[in-house]
A = this chain, B = another copy of it.
Amino acid sequence: MAFREVFRMKKHFDYSALIGESNPLLRYPELLDAAIDEFSAKSCEDASLNEILKKSGMSKGSLYHHFGDKFGLYVAMMDIIVQKKLSYFYPLLSEELDTDDFFGILKRVMKATLEFVLADERMHHLSVRVMEESAEFRKRAFEFFVPDYFQALRAYIRYVMESGQIDTRYPPELVAKFIEIVLANLDKLVTDPEPDKRLETANQVLDIIQHGIAGK
C-alpha cells in the first residue's frame, strides 16, 4: 500500500495524452458540455472547476486523475473544439475551388464559419477568445495542437494580392486582420432567427468586405 505513493510520484502529468483519439474527455460528454459552458462564460483562469464538477457530476478525484489539473481539462476541451471547427473546413479542401478566386473561397470560408457559429456559439466564442489570451498562455496551450489559421490566411492574402483581386494600396496584414475581425464577430452580425436569412446576411457581410457600404 505504501508503494502507492511512490507510483503516484509522477508529478509531471503527461498532457500530450490528452489530445487526439485518446482524449479522455471524449468518454465524458457531460463533462465536456459542462467545461464548454464554464470556460466559454469565464476566462480559463476564472472558470470554476467546482462548478464544472457539480454540473457534470464527475468527482474531483476522477478529474485530477484523468486530466492532471485545470489546465489539462482546458487543453483537452480545446483539442475537441479545434477538431470540431476544422471539421467544418475540411469539406472545403475536397471541393474543386479555384484558388485564384479569392472571393469565391472567402464565401465558402464565411459559410463554414457561419455553420460553426450556429452549431455551437459557445465553441465559437472559445475559439475566438483563445486568440485574445496572453501570448505566454497560448504558447503553453498550443504546444500540443497548434492550429495556426491566421498565419495561413495572411500568407494566402499576400499571394492573392499579386493577382490584382485585392486593392494593392492596402497592406496585406491590414486586409487579413480586417477579415479575421469580421469572421470573429460573425455571431454579432448574423443574428436573424430564420436560418435562410442567415446565409443571406453572411453574404451581405461578404459584399461589404468586397465592395464597401457606399452607394452607387
CA distance A196 to B210 in the complex (A): 27
Contact between chains at A213 and B182 (CB < 8 Å): no
A204 in the interface (beta carbon within 8 A) = yes
How many residues of A are counted as interface, with CB atoms below 8 angstroms from the partner's CB atoms? 35
Which residues 33-69 of A have a CB within 8 angstroms of B? 42-43, 45-46
Residues from 170 to 216 in A contacting B, C-beta threshold 8 Å: 170-171, 174-175, 177-178, 181-182, 185, 188-189, 201, 204-205, 207-216
Q: Give Cα distance in the complex from A181 to B184, angstroms.
A: 10
Knowing A42-B46, A178-B205, A181-B185, say if A170 contacts B213 (CB, 8 Å).
Answer: yes
Please give, as numbers and ranges, the residues of chain B lying within 8 Å of A208 by CB-CB distance: 170, 174-175, 178, 209, 212
Copies of this subunit = 2
Question: Which residue in chain B gives the minimum CB-CB distance to A184?
Answer: B185
Interface pair B177/A189, CB less than 8 Å apart: yes
Contacts of A175 on B, CB cut-off 8 Å? Answer: 208, 213
A216 contacts across to B, CB distance below 8 A: 164, 167
What is the distance, in angstroms, from A166's C-beta to the closest C-beta of chain B?
Answer: 5
